[in-house]
Each structure stands twice: as C-alpha cells, then as structure tokens.
Amino acid sequence: MEREESPILKPATLDERRKYYREEWDVKEIPEFIRESVLKREFGFDHMGRGPNDRYRVFRSADLLRKFLRYRAPFAAYSSVAFYDKPRRRDGWIKSELVFDVDAKDIPLRMCGCEGVCEICLNQAREIVCSLMDTLKGDLGLNDIHVVYSGRGYHIRVLDESVMKMDSDVRAQIVKYIIGAEVPHNEYAEEGVTYNLEHFSIPFGYPHVFTLRAKYSILHLSEAIQMEGVNQKLVKDAIKHQELIKNDEWGIFRNKIGPIRYQRLMNGIASLNMGLVDAKVSIDLKRILRLPSSLHSMVSMKSMEVKNIENFDPFEDAVPRFVYERKD
Ligand SMILES: [Zn+2]
C-alpha cells in the first residue's frame, strides 16, 4: 500500500493540467467510438474541481473538441453515453451505450482497506471487469465492448446495436444477470417430474454465472465482512472451507456448512454482489462518463481506453509524464 502515498495519487495543479493537454495529450487517444460520434454526444466539463457543472456542450468536430481541451485544460472532461439529434438540449434521444461502472473504491470484499484506491483494489476491480466481460461475450453474445480505465476503476462500454436502444428496465435486468444479484431457483420439470438442481451443478446460463460470482465472493471473504442475514460464525465457517470452493467442490462445502445455513450464505452473497457495479450508472440513459484520454486531476492519472485488460497496470500505463517530473 506504499503506492497510496506515491505522488501519482496527488491532485494535479493547473500548470500540470496545461502541460498535460498541450504537450502530452493527443486527440487520437480519444477512442474512435467517441471521435466518430462527437456530433451526437453531449460533453460536460469540470473547470474548478467542483463537479461537472459546465454541461450541454457540443462540438461540431473532433478538432474543435481538441482545441477546447488544449485551451481550457479542464479539471475533468466527460461525454454522454447517449446519442442525440440535438445534444445541446439533450433532445431527440437516439440510443445509449450500455455501461457497467466498476469503481475500485466501492467494490464489496476489498482486500486492502485503503481510504481511496490503491494497487490492490484496482487489481480486484480489473479481475471483476474480466469476468463480467466473459459473461457479456459468452452469455449475451455481445462483442462491441470497450473497457476504459477511469482513474479510480473501470467502465465497460457496450456499443452493440442490439442493446443501445434498450430502456432502463431491461438494462437493470442485464445488470442483475451479469453480477449474480439473485440466488437462482433451480427447479425444472421434465415429463411430469420436478427436479431440484443446485446452481453449481448447472454448467450454463444464469445458474453458472451465479456460481462464478459466488465463488469469487467466497474466495475473497474476510472475517470483518458484514453480510445481510449472515452472522460472523457463518462467515468464519465459509472462510474455513474456502479450499473446497477453490476446487469447485460445492456439494461438500454445502454439507460442511449445512443446507439451511448454505442458503442463508448464498442470499447474503447475492446481496453483496449488488455492489460489484454501480447499477445507477447502467440504467441512466443520459449519463455522462469521464472522457477517455482526459486527465483525472484528483489522482493525476489518465483515463484511457484499455486494449488488453488482462495485462493492464494503471500504475505503469496510466501515469502522465508530468508526474515523473515532479520535484517532491
Ligand atoms: Zn485499495
């Protein structure tokens, strides 16, 4: 956790912001999926570090956006997930990206206990993003997916046409599915006989997603965790038998814990999983998100599109040059 004290996470001064936008930043670092739709999006800026109150900005070209950023060197820059016919008035909504916001500061079961963000929780956020992406690709068949490092976590931005016109209710259902927010009911009937299957014995669909998320949660439990309807003795027992879950021996785990307590544990984990992403962001069709390539001035890191999430290390890849030139 030494890195927490590192100069990287210190706020950037106005001079540093100017230096960044004039000497280091390049308009080509704004991902193409945004550059090609500049005309349809609303932009927002925070000039003083008090929140994005300069909203409803529009640009007729990526070059005008480039000039604005160069000249103003804002504290923070944002663009809408929505495409509008009249972005200046947020009118004539056409469609919106489907977004999942994984903020390292807010994820459940943080292994670090730091105040803001650090290498440990950022890496946990990265792991969560990888497994959410697998579900989006594998289960939902989506493939126009972009990952953006926000400065404090990750945004998964989906631009498949099949999801961009969806309303908030459908988006809420998708969120619940991919994070494993409900314990699956696994009864199914065949030729008049009802079978009862545990979620972990079904290798596909939602029960499988839930099993993956529950596995992640159980392997990251700590004794300090507070879970709805789960007492500390049960948390302790779950930790004691983590090895079984690691080896996918769910049946034995369930027997060790006891079936009723197991059910209680799964309910607790399902509600814990609600914290994996910020659902408010996913259902908000008019949200603005930090502009990739812009500077997150609060922590002096670059928000950027991540091409290879498996190997991404923000402390290597998202540190602007001016940070290395600081005197203290
Ligand atoms: Zn941390």
CATH number at residue 235: 1.10.8
Let me know whether 316 and 247 are in one domain. no
- Please tell me whether residues 263 and 304 are part of one structural domain: no
| Domain's final residue, options 255, 276, 297 | 276
Domain contains 20: yes
Residue of 103, 134, 139, 284 with catalytic role: 103
The alpha carbon of 120 and the centre of ligand 1 are apart by a number of angstroms equal to: 5
> Maximum CA pair distance of the chain?
76
pLDDT of residue 185: 83
In a domain, 47, yes or no: yes
CA of 221 to the centre of ligand 1 (A): 15
* pLDDT value at residue 4: 45
Query: Would 16 be classed as within a structural domain?
Result: yes
Verify whether residue 278 is a known catalytic residue: yes
Domain count, the chain: 2
Measured distance between the N- and C-terminal CA atoms of the chain, rounded to whole angstroms: 19
Q: How close is the Cα of 114 to the center of ligand 1, in Å?
A: 4
- Catalytic annotation on 317? no
User: Does the residue 174 lie in any domain?
Assistant: no
Q: Are residues 120 and 192 in the same domain?
A: no
Residue 172 lies in a domain: no
Secondary-structure percent of the chain, ordered helix, strand, coil, rounded to 5: 45, 20, 35
Q: Based on the domain organization, do 102 and 212 belong to the same domain?
A: no
**Same domain, yes or no, for 34 and 126?**
yes
Residues 219 and 197 both lie in one domain: yes
> How many other β-carbons are positioned within 10 Å of the β-carbon of residue 94?
13
Residue 175 covered by a domain:
no
Residues 163 and 186 in one domain: no
Q: Is residue 100 located within the same domain as residue 235?
A: no
Residue 103 falls in the annotated catalytic set: yes
Q: What is the pLDDT of residue 6?
A: 55
Shared-domain flag, residues 101 and 153: yes
119 C-alpha to center of ligand 1: Å? 6
Residue 116: what pLDDT?
85
Which of 234, 251, 276 represents a domain boundary (last residue)? 276
- Its domain, for residue 1, covers 1-167+285-328
Catalytic residue among 63, 101, 167, 317: 101
CA of 165 to the centre of ligand 1 (A): 36
pLDDT, residue 195, reads 72
H or E, element range at 206: helix 205-219
For residue 57, which of 323, 72, 105 has the smallest C-alpha distance? 72
Calculate how far, in angstroms, residue 53's C-alpha sits from the geometric centre of ligand 1. 29
Q: 324 and 242, same structural domain?
A: no
What sign has the CA pseudo-torsion 164, 169, 172, 178? negative
Name the active-site residue from 54, 106, 237, 278. 278
pLDDT of res. 88: 95
Residues 25 and 149 in one domain: yes
* Same-domain pairing of 5 and 92: yes
Decide if 67 is inside a domain.
Answer: yes
Residue 22 belongs to domain with CATH number: 3.90.920.10
Mean pLDDT in order along the chain per 10 residues (328 residues): 56 96 96 97 96 95 97 98 97 98 93 88 96 96 97 97 97 97 82 81 92 95 90 96 97 96 96 95 98 96 97 95 87
Asked if residue 320 is part of any domain, the answer here is yes
Give the pTM: 0.93
* C-alpha of residue 214 to centroid of ligand 1, in Å: 21
Confidence (pLDDT) at 194 = 74
Token pair 């529950």 in the structure block, residue: 214
Task: Provide the pLDDT for residue 324.
Answer: 92
Cα of 235 vs centre of ligand 1, distance in Å, is: 22
